[in-house]
Structure 1
C-alpha cells in the first residue's frame, strides 16, 4: 500500500479556515472573484459570455478545449525562440492534479529526485510515496531564498531523474532570477535531467519588473526540451473555484505519456470550468484581471511591509518579490515563538489565521508563519490591526 505523509498545510487550512469571524491570511489565492466580476473586467463588450448554457454537458475535449490550450501555449511562447504548440498543453483539475499526475507517470522506485525546499509538500512527499529517494535543495534566508546551483550539483546522483523547482516560491515569496534559471537549465541539459517547474503563482510579480534583465521567465522559454511547467487559474488568476490547471512541456513524449496515464484518473475537466478559463485568458479579459491582481498585491505588500517595519523588534522577513505569500518570523524577548501554538493563539484571541511554517513547511523554520497577503485589502487591514493589538498585549 502506498504510504502518504499527512499533508500538513492542507490539513491545517481545512481545520481552521472556516472558524467563525476569522480573518484569513492563510489563503494563497489572489482575492477570488465571481463570474459577474470577471465579466465586468472584460474590455470588449462583444466578447461572448463565459458560460454557454446551450452546451451539451458531455465529457467535452478530453485534453482540454483547443481554445484553452492554444491560449495557454501562447503565454509560454512569449520571449521564447519558438512558439509552443497547443498540443503540448494538457488541462487538469487544478495544479495539484497536474503535479500528482506527472509524478505518478514519470517517477517510481529506484529514481532519485532533487526538490527545492521549503516548498509545497506535495512536490516531495508524492515522489517519496512512489518509492523514489528525495534530496532537498535547501533555500537559505542569507541568500534571500534564491537557490544556489552549486548546492544542487552536490545533490545530484547517477540515478537522478528529476529536479523540481517552485517559482515564485511558496512559502517565501522569493523569485528565482533568470540567470539562476539558465544555470539550472545548462546543468540539467548536460546530464539529460528533467526539470519540473511549478509556476502556479506565475505571473504575479510585484517586486520585479519585465524590464529587469533578471526578470524570471517561464522555464519553458529557455530552450531546453526536457522542462515541464505546471500552472493554475487559482492563484494569480483568482479563480480557484473552477479547478483548472495544466501541464505544459516542449517534449511531446512527456505530454503523451501523462495523457495516457490520465485515462486511469480524471479523464477530462468540466466543460463549464474550461469555458470560464478560456474567457479569463482571452486578450480582452486577461490583462485587466492580472492588472487588478498585481495592483492588489502591491497595495497589500505596502501595508504588510509597514506593519513589519513598525514591529521590527518582534517580526522579520525577506521581502517577497512574487506570488501571494510571505514568510514572517516572530520572536518574544529575542527567542523564536512556538509558531504552531502562536498560530492557534492568534486564531483564538485575534481572529486572524495564518500557517505555522515549522509544521507545514520545514522544522528549520521555527518561529515563522506563512501569510497569504493578496486578499481583499480591507481584510488585510483589519487583520493587521488585530494582530498588532495581539502583539502589544502578548509579545511586546
Structure 2
C-alpha cells in the first residue's frame, strides 16, 4: 500500500506547529478551542477523577452512546463509537470492500475519502460539484455516477471544503433509490448541526443511510478524537463493531466521559460556535464583496469553511504562501485537487478575525 502525500496535513503541520506558530489560523476547519477545565466546568461541573483507565466496550460505553442517541434523536443501540470520523470512514470502507467494486464520492472533497478507498482496493467514481451552482449536491447527479459495481455512495453535508448543504429531500430520495439496489448511502455529518438560515435535520433516521460524525467540527472538540457511526441495521452494525475491535479495540474511557459530558452540554458548545462562526462569516462576506473583481465564492450554507477561487484560474499556492509569510494561514486548493481555489476557515479564530482579513485583503491587492 502506497498512500499519497496528505497535502493538507503537510501544509497545516508546517504552520500550526511551527515555532512560533502562525498568528491567525484561517486554515483550520474546527471551531474555537475549549480547555479541559472549561469543559468540565459546564453544567455545574464534572469530576472525572474516578474514571477507571481501562478498555471501553468496542461499540462505546453506555453513557456516551446514550448521550449521542439523545443528541441525534436515535436509539442509542444504533450508535457505534469510533476514534474520530477517520476510523468511521475506515470501517464503512472495510465493510463494502470487494474486488472490482467502486464507491461514489463528491469532487472536490476531503482528500482521505479517495485515498482510503484506493487503499482498500476500491475504485472511485466522482460526481462534480459545480461552483456556478453553489456546489449543490443532488440525488439525480449522484445517481448518474453510480454503476452496477457501486458498493457505497458518500455525501458530505455541510460539505468540506465548500460549505454547501444537501437538502433533506434530496438525501431521502437518494437513499431510497440506492436502497432499491442494495447500495448503502453514507452521510458525513461532521459539521451538523451548524447551519446558516434554514436548519436541516440529521439523516440518522433516514432508511438506508449510515451517518458519520465526530466531536471535532460542530462541537469544537477535535482533541477528544471521538466519532461515531449511526447504523440502524443490526447485522451491519455487528460487523462494524467487529471491525472496530480489530482496528482500535476501543476508545479511552476518559475521553468517552469527557465526550458524554460535552454532549450533555452541547447547547453551550454550539452557542459559542454559532456566535463566532456567524460573525466571522459576515465579515468574510463583506471582504469577498470588495475583492469580487479577483476572487469569487459561494457563500457557505453550513459548516465552518468556504472555498473561494481565483477568477483568472491562477494557482492559489503562491498567494497562500505569501499570506502565511504575513501571518495568516489558509489552505491551498491543490490539497483538494482544485489548485485555483483556497479553503478559508472562519470559526476557529474567535479573536482577531478582522485583523486577519485586513492582512488577507492587503496581500491579495499587493
Match for residue 338 of structure 1?
315
Match for residue 352 of structure 1?
328
Map Cα deviations across residues 215-266 of structure 1 (whole Å, 9 max, x no partner). x3222222x1x32111111111111111111111111212210111222221
Match for residue 324 of structure 1?
304
Match for residue 218 of structure 1?
202
1:187 to 160, 166, 177: 177
User: Aligned pair in 2 of structure 1 residues 113, 21: CA closer, same or farther (>3 Å)?
Assistant: closer
Compute the displacement of 1:21 (Å).
5.0
Compute the displacement of 1:368 (Å).
1.2
1:200 to 190, 193, 196: 190
Structure 1 window deviating more from structure 2 (104-113 vs 291-300): it is 104-113
Match for residue 36 of structure 1?
37
Q: Are the aligned partners of 1:21 and 1:351 in contact in 2 as well (CA < 8 Å)?
A: no
Map Cα deviations across residues 54-101 of structure 1 (whole Å, 9 max, x no partner). 222111333211111012122332xxxxxx321221111111121112
Map Cα deviations across residues 148-198 of structure 1 (whole Å, 9 max, x no partner). 322223221112110011111000011111221122122112212101111
Length, aligned pairs only = 364
C-alpha root-mean-square deviation of aligned residues, in Å? Answer: 1.7
1:364-379 equivalences under 5 Å are: 365-379=338-352
Match for residue 239 of structure 1?
221
Partners of 2:223 and 2:27 in 1: CA distance: 17
Match for residue 168 of structure 1?
158
Matched, 1:209 2:208: no
Partners of 1:385 and 1:204 in 2: CA distance: 26
Partners of 1:189 and 1:62 in 2: CA distance: 28
Match for residue 80 of structure 1?
none
Partners of 2:197 and 2:205 in 1: CA distance: 18
Match for residue 294 of structure 2?
314
TM-score by length of 1: 0.88
Unaligned runs of 5+ in 2: none
Q: Are the aligned partners of 2:103 and 2:151 in contact in 1 as well (CA < 8 Å)?
A: yes
Partners of 1:308 and 1:70 in 2: CA distance: 42
Compute the displacement of 1:41 (Å).
4.3
TM-score by length of 2: 0.94
Q: Are the aligned partners of 2:78 and 2:231 in contact in 1 as well (CA < 8 Å)?
A: yes
Q: Are the aligned partners of 1:137 and 1:155 in contact in 2 as well (CA < 8 Å)?
A: yes
Matched, 1:279 2:261: yes
